[in-house]
Amino acid sequence: MGNLPPLSLYIHIPWCVQKCPYCDFNSHALKGDVPHMEYVGHLLADLDNDIALTSGREVSTIFIGGGTPSLLSSEAMQALLDGVRQRVPVAAGAEITMEANPGTVEADRFSGYQRAGVNRISIGVQSFSQQKLERLGRIHGPEEAKRAANLAAGLGLRSFNLDLMHGLPDQSLDEALDDLRQAIALAPPHLSWYQLTIEPNTLFASRPPVLPDDDDLWDIFEQGHQLLTAAGYQQYETSAYAKPGLQCQHNLNYWRFGDYLGIGCGSHGKLTQPDGEIIRSVKTRHPLGFMRGDYLDKRYTVTDNEKPFEYFMNRFRLWEPCPREEFVRYTGLGEQHIRPALDKAIAAGYLNETENTWQVSEKGRLFLNSLLEIFLEQE
């Protein structure tokens, strides 16, 4: 048990009011009403099937994502979190995050979520430009986004996050920085600021918009990073900034190669067993199949050859140093398995090594994919 990583729980709510053209998440445009309590029943049954793989560990963080979790009624959220607590030990003071779309935010419902145990809300703003929001297929406007942020701030939650995108279709440097200034003015404790990428099997992939070129993207990132740093935010992950001490603990557990249960449509799980085996699971993507009780799509063991790349693919997203002993503890492998790759990464200037840690260098951050490819080649 001592070598097992911390355990988190991810819960997926698959419905949206409409599908955004850039989105490749497992979300489905709503046809009719949300089957609130019926879906909660299936989520808890799905959890029941996975409990034996947790080795009795307590859940340290919970993240309710989607889709649009704020479409779920506060009564259903209460039943869901009560049901989770009845089945697995949840740490006292656990961070419990829920994603929310500004277009589905209501004050009474938010208060209900808070009573159910939600203490952190992540609001999908994406932009404060009406034109850009329409281009992204968002159902909310700038004022709704600001109202949702102010509502979250007024609830006295542990924290709240604003999701913001840059590199949007035809976006200028000034437009991108104006979005960032408006977000900073709302004083969120946490800001996720990430670049729009065109993903396969999306509407944007079939009809690609004109995006800023690499030079413009670099200017946006560089000047945006300066704005955020000047406002007191610290970058702790590739696309995440937070005020000191207010990083998202759930995401930190992912990037530190922690374990997580995944329940709900299309969710993923990673569970380390006492003998060192790492089991990954993928749940049925479509709500119709999931709600027939066919929860599990596939379950498989991560091989020893795959472990180093999986570990570093997560760990090297973080700005903090990576403890060398943690690699051994969480993968069950000795450093000799990765020494050739480490030496190559250090020689390339991508990685710094001390007696106790590895840390991605400034060059490594700029060429993160090249760094990770070194460990992929070793598989």
Please tell me the predicted confidence (pLDDT) of residue 278. Answer: 97
Q: What is the DSSP string of 133-171?
A: HHHTT-S--HHHHHHHHHHHHHTT-SEEEEEEEES-TT-
Residues 326-356 as b or e (16 or more Cβ within 10 Å = b): bbeebbbbeeebbeebbebbeeeebbeeeee
pLDDT of residue 24 exceeding 70, the answer is no
235-245 residue pLDDT tens: 999 999 999 99
Q: What is the pLDDT of residues 266-325, one digit of tens each?
A: 999 999 999 999 999 999 999 999 999 999 999 999 999 999 999 999 999 999 999 999
pLDDT tens digit sequence for 44-87:
999 999 999 999 999 999 999 988 898 899 999 999 999 999 99
CA 346 → CA 34, 339, 351, 363, 374, distances in Å? 52, 10, 5, 11, 11
Q: What is residue 210's predicted lDDT score, i.e. its pLDDT? A: 76
Give the helix ranges, DSSP H, for 231-357. Answer: 249-255, 287-290, 307-315, 324-331, 339-347
pLDDT for residue 21: 61
Q: Cβ distance 151 to 143 under 8 Å?
A: no
Whole-model pTM: value is: 0.94
The alpha carbon dihedral of 187, 194, 131, 16 has a sign of: negative
Angle at 60 between CA 57 and CA 65, to 5 degrees: 115
Tally of helices (H runs) and strands (E runs) in the chain: 15, 17
Two tokens at 68?
A: 């649009």
> For residue 304, what is the DSSP state?
T
| Average pLDDT score over residue span 142-159 | 92
CB 7: neighbour CB atoms within 10 A? 24
Peptide bond preceding 137 in cis form (omega within 30 of 0): no
What pLDDT score does 1 carry?
46
Q: With a cut of 80, say whether residue 132 has pLDDT above it.
A: yes
Tokens of residue 115, six digits: 């009573």
- CATH number for the region 7-253 comes to 3.20.20.70
Separation CA 239–CA 172 (nearest Å) = 20
Task: State the average pLDDT for the chain.
Answer: 92
Q: What is the mean pLDDT of residues 118-128?
A: 95
* pLDDT in the model for residue 133: 87
On the 0-12 / 13-18 / 19+ scale of CB atoms within 10 A, 188 is buried
Q: What is the pLDDT of residues 319-342, one digit of tens each?
A: 999 999 999 999 999 999 999 999
Between the CA of residue 357 and those of 49, 319, 342, 360, what are the distances in Å?
38, 12, 12, 10
Dihedral, 46, 48, 49, 51 alpha carbons, nearest 10: 120
Mean pLDDT in residue range 99-106: 79
| CATH 3.20.20.70 residue window(s) in the chain | 7-253
Q: Which residue has the higher pLDDT, 170 or 378?
A: 170
- Which one, of 331, 271, 272, lies nearest residue 296 by Cα? 271
pLDDT of 364 over the 60 cut: yes
Confidence of residue 20 (pLDDT cuts 50, 70, 90): low
Share of the chain above pLDDT 90, in %: 79
The pLDDT value given to residue 23: 60
3-state secondary structure 190-247: EEEEEECCCCCCCHHHHCCCCCCCHHHHHHHHHHHHHHHHHCCCEEEECCEEECCCCC
Give the tens place of pLDDT for each residue, 201-219. Answer: 767 767 777 788 989 999 9
pLDDT at residue 202, rounded to an integer: 64
Alpha carbon 203 to chain centroid, angstroms: 22
